[in-house]
Structure 1
Amino acid sequence: MRKFFRVVVFSLFLASAGTLTCAEAAFHQGDQGQDIASIQAQLNALGYNVGSVDGDFGEATAIAVGKFQRDRGLENDGVIGTDTYRAIMGREIPVSRDGSSSLVRRVVQSSLRYQGVPYVFGGGSPSGFDCSGFTRYVFAQAGIYLPRSADEQYEVGQYVSYSRLQPGDLVYFTTYEAGASHVGIYLGNGQFISATSSRGIAIARMDSGYWGDRYLGARRVL
């Protein structure tokens, strides 16, 4: 009966994940990474001062984008969508990675498959996982190789703001020590899956009293 219940829940989750389609590619305030640095450099070259080219879409960059949009007759929303990106960079915006991509589905499906596997400190196989061993193993099944520890994994990929989390993102928490000491995989709808010492591989809510108070940040490697 328990196995049947898991299959039903798994099927319902995949069905809901299928609704995460057609997300328009865009860069927003709070985003970070090399794409943002390239945009900043181009805005500076065009005479729209963003200050330091640091790859951080902060207030100065948002103001510069707004001025550029006004001058070019674009929608003045401070968001770098398809039209604004094309006008700034002279090429099409990179395709957005959304929850319907095959790679994301592979990671999500793999993570759900191990629900109930016990927690083992230092574990990195289906016989037992710790938190970073679990994420490393699941991503390796999709051909993506992460460092071993949670704090090392926190240094890879692109920073993602809480409001823009997508399935497959890595989410980090501060638990038994300062910094990124726990990591899980975001599933969507405010939920993530991780290896916990109390329940093994289990799904939890990001905004629960325990995890919500300990949330540190997120990274996107897909």
Structure 2
Amino acid sequence: MKKGLMSVVLASSVLIFPAVSGAALGDQTLRTGSNHADVEELQDVLRDTGHYASSSTGNFDSATKQAVRSFQSSKGILVDGIVGPQTFRSLGVSDSGGSSVSASSSTVNFSGTLRYGSRGSGVRSLQSALNSSGANAGSVDGVFGSQTRSAVQSFQRSAGISVDGVAGPQTFDALGGSVSSSGSSSASKSNSKSGSTGSVSSNSSGSSSSASGVISTAKGQIGSPYSWGGTSPSGFDCSGFLNYAFSKNGQSIPRTVSAIHGAATSVSNPQVGDIVFFATTHSGPSHAGIYLGNNEFIHAGSSTGVTVSNLNTSYWSNSYLGAGRL
């Protein structure tokens, strides 16, 4: 996938945003007794893969250990309840961040996003920028925790952009940079909507032109593998796949299934381009896809990768929660 390049130029400072794989996991082994943001993100991962049904607490307790063991068993790797390099690889988590900066200018080229759990120099730069903008990110410590997320949301709300607490191209652009993409025009900004948490672009996914573009993009990824935290053709999780399809068509949507569900307007009869939601791992929304019509939807399944499925099959009909429109 051709990744967008952003040039971030802020007065009197240079921001370096490293590429991340959608998670800050992988830099340390996690085991019973660990208690910090990495564990909370691990729990989110395990829930997405169907091995953890409790709320994410950040505490590596017995339920988390059992979920890890269940996941390890499903992958045929060493079952020890400890999350080390082998388990991280099976989860699709890599620690291959990177950034580039021109030695002769303040232009920084980067790709990726920063979100809750991310760590490093990119987060420190983001925190500094947020503090400079008046959004209180607290200490510039390089850890994307709850205060940094709240600061991102506060900044997004004041900038009139999608409020999801995730620092991606739209947020970096609003902080003072510009976005460009190789071989294409500048990335579209979402039209501003209500400043409430979970707001999305005002373009309706139900409109024919928007829906056809989203579906065309989505179908072009059939066969792409599943990877937790993945947001590119090299590997998608279910919400990362939705984000990819919509963002390629100028629409910014929340990152997680639950947030997408919260932002969507419920519809009784889905139209082409609407989002269909499923409760696959717990009582709330945990999986989603794009409705294609004729009871079919396209999604990134953990065991299938990007594929087209039918709502009438017993598994999907039994877990179906309903449809929503963004």
Q: TM-score, normalised by structure 2?
A: 0.37
Structure 2 CA distance for partners of 1:98 and 1:179, relative to 1, 3 Å: closer
Q: Within 5 Å, give how 1:129-208 maps onto structure 2.
A: 129-161=236-268, 164-208=269-313
| Letter paired with 1:102 | S
Deviation, 1:100, is 7.4
Contact 1:191–1:204 (8 Å) recurs in 2: yes
CA deviations over 1:65-114 (Å, ceiling 9, x no partner): xxxxxxxxxxxxxxxxxxxxxxxxxxxxxxxx897721111011111000
Q: Secondary structure at the match of 1:184?
A: strand
Deviation, 1:178, is 2.3
Q: Who is 1:128 aligned against?
A: 235
Q: What RMSD, in angstroms, separates the aligned Cα atoms of the two structures?
A: 1.6
Contact 1:98–1:166 (8 Å) recurs in 2: no
**Which of residues 109, 112, 116 is equivalent to 2:223?**
116
Deviation, 1:157, is 2.6
Q: Secondary structure at the match of 2:263?
A: coil
5+ residue gaps, structure 1, are 1-96
5+ residue gaps, structure 2, are 1-203
Q: Do residues 217 (structure 1) and 326 (structure 2) align?
A: no
Contact 1:150–1:180 (8 Å) recurs in 2: yes
Deviation, 1:126, is 1.1
CA distance in 2, matches of 1:100, 1:156: 17
CA distance in 2, matches of 1:110, 1:171: 17
**Same amino acid, percent of matched pairs:** 45
Contact 2:285–2:321 (8 Å) recurs in 1: yes
Contact 1:99–1:105 (8 Å) recurs in 2: no
Q: Who is 1:72 aligned against?
A: none
CA distance in 1, matches of 2:252, 2:215: 16
| Letter paired with 2:220 | R
Q: Secondary structure at the match of 1:155?
A: helix
Q: Secondary structure at the match of 2:280?
A: coil
| Letter paired with 1:200 | G
CA distance in 2, matches of 1:132, 1:149: 6
Q: Secondary structure at the match of 2:318?
A: helix
Deviation, 1:139, is 0.6
* Segments ≥4 residues shifted beyond 3 Å: 97-100
Contact 2:205–2:325 (8 Å) recurs in 1: no
| Letter paired with 1:110 | T
Q: TM-score, normalised by structure 1?
A: 0.53
| Letter paired with 1:212 | S
More helix by share: 1
Structure 2 CA distance for partners of 1:128 and 1:190, relative to 1, 3 Å: same
Count of residues paired in the alignment = 123
Q: Secondary structure at the match of 2:291?
A: strand
Deviation, 1:156, is 1.1
